[in-house]
Structure 1
Amino acid sequence: MIRLGLLMVVTLVGVFMTLDRFGQGDLRTGHRPVPAPTSAATDAGAPSLTAPAAGTLPATPPVDIIPAASQTPERTQRFPGPPLEPSPEYAGATPEPAQAVPADAPVLYVTADRVNMRAGAGTNNPVVASLTGGSAVQALGATGGEWVQVQTEGGQQGFVAAQFLTADAP
C-alpha cells in the first residue's frame, strides 16, 4: 500500500516537472501566422466601409429591393402519407352525432381555479378537458347529483363534479 502511494507521488511530481519545463508560453504562436486585423464585413466579402463624402449618397433607395414576403417560399407538405382509414372494428359504423343542447339548459360557472372535465361521471374516467375558474358551461342533464354533464362554449362535452359549479356568475 505504501509502495502504491509512493509510486503515485513520484508520477505526479514527474508530470508537474515536465509541464513546468515545457509548458512555458504559448507553443501555438510560432506555428501559425498572425493575420492583419480586418472587419467582419470584409471577411464576408463586402467592400471596405469608409465614410462617404458629403452629398454623395443617393436621395432615393435603389429599386432592386425585393420585399421579404415575396422571397419566402410557400410551405408544402412533401410526404403526405396514405389517406386515413377507419380501424377495422369501426369500418361500417358511423359516428354518433353530438348531443343537442336544450334551449332552456342552465348556464353554470366554474368556481375553482382549474377543474378537470371527464369523459364519464367519476374520477376514474379520463380527463377530456381542463376548465379554468369562471368558465361558462351549459348543463346537459340534471344538476342535482354529484356529477353534472356539461358542454363548453367550444362544443366539448363531459362531466364535472357538481361541487365546482354554480349558477351565480363570477
Structure 2
Amino acid sequence: MIRLGLLVLALLAVIAVTMIAVGPDGDSTATVTPTEEPRPTAQDPETRKLIEQIKTSIAPNDDTQPEEAAPAVVQAESQTPQRVDRFPGPPLRPSPEHEGKEGQQDRAEDLRSTASGPILYVTGSRVNFRAGPTTSDRVIGALGEGAPVEALGPTDGSWIRIRDAEGREGYMSGQFLSPAE
C-alpha cells in the first residue's frame, strides 16, 4: 500500500515538472524575452499629448444629451413566477393517537357545565371503562390521560361509576382517577 502511494506521488511530481517545463500552451518555448524597443511612458511628451486627446474625445461635453435613457430597473418579484405545488398530496389527518380529540375540548366543557357530581380526571395513558365494576365486564370505551369524567357515585371505592364527555356511563378503576387536573 505504501509502495502504491509513493508511486502515485512520483507520477504526480513528473507531471507537474513536465507542465512547468512545457508551459500552458503546450509549447516548450514558453519563456518571455524582452522587446528591443522601449515602451513609451507617461513622461514622454508625445504620450502625454496622445493621452490628452483620448481624454477629451471620451469625456462628454456639457451640451450633449445621452442618446438613450438607461432602462428602468425591473424588480425581482415581477420576474419570479408564483410557486405552485404540483403534488399537494392528500389532506392532513390527525395521527391515530390524537384521533377523535378535535371536539374533546368542547365535550369536556359541556361535561363540566352540566355535571352534578365531582369531576375527576383520567391519570393513565389509555384506560378502559366497563359496564360493571369488574375486569370481566364488557368494555364500553377507553379514555386518554387528562380526560374529564363525572363521578356518579362514591369516589372512595376501588371502582367508581362515571359518565364521560360523550355521555356514556360505566365503571372505571379508582386507581386511574384523580380530582387534580
Where is the helix percentage greater, Structure 1 or Structure 2? 2
Q: Which TM-score applies when normalising by structure 2?
A: 0.36
Q: Which TM-score applies when normalising by structure 1?
A: 0.39
